[in-house]
Amino acid sequence: MWNYEKRLQYPVKITQTNPEIAQVIISQYGGPDGELAASMRYLAQRYTMPYNTVTGVLTDIGTEELAHFEMICAIVYQLTRNLTPEEIKESGFDKYYVDHTLALWPQAAGGIPFNACEFQSKGDVITDLMEDMAADATS
């Protein structure tokens, strides 16, 4: 089970909105190398990990990744807060806005929705750890 701490792992205080940058940064939330995929990868792989110590690593990193996507969401949220209809249209944010308004939805920068094909969980120690390293080296 989990407990929530009511703070961000690192402060996010953005004073200037920027929907163009938000559309790129959202990939770090729901994209192929995003924090959501990272978290789900570690937390899915841990059940069949045969070493307690390594299961500990997967559990604790998977937990930390949850705090990471919370920070990414905070960034996107603050970059798009209170946009006007003109700003939404001019920035190209309208294609996201039409389906999700200013809500957070896990997708890649190109609009591809998050899905479990972004990561692997094979039940083989070496395979799973190699997958983790390959993924983590990119983000």
Partner 1 sequence: MQEWKPQMPYPEQFPVAMAYVPWQRNCNMYENLDEAFKTGTIFPELNKPFLGRCVKG
Partner 2 sequence: MNIGCKPCMDSERQRLLLEISKVDFALKELNLYLDTHPYDQQGMENFRQYNALKNKLVKDYTEKYGPLVLSIVDMDSREWKWATQDWPWEGGYN
Count of residues in the chain: 139
Q: Is 81 in the site for partner 2 (CB under 8 A)?
A: yes
Distance of alpha carbon 43 from alpha carbon 38, whole angstroms: 9
Query: Are the beta carbons of 24 and 107 closer than 8 angstroms?
Result: no
At closest approach, how far in Å is the CB of 63 from partner 2? 9
Question: What b/e readout covers 37-61, taking b as 16+ CB neighbours within 10 angstroms?
Answer: bbbbbbbbbbeebeeeeeeeebeeb
**Which option in partner 2, partner 1, none does residue 138 bind, with CB closer than 5 to 8 A by kind?**
none
Binding mask 3-42 for partner 2 (x = CB under 8 A): xxxxxxxxxxxxxxx-------------------------
Pick one of partner 2, partner 1, none as the site partner of residue 85 (Cβ within 5 to 8 A by kind).
Answer: none
- Please tell me whether residue 24 binds partner 1 under the rule CB under 8 A: no
Nearer to partner 1 by Cβ, of 59 and 139: the residue is 139
The token pair that represents 21 in the structure block: 């940058």
| Residues at the site binding partner 1, with contacts judged by CB under 8 A | 10, 126, 130, 133
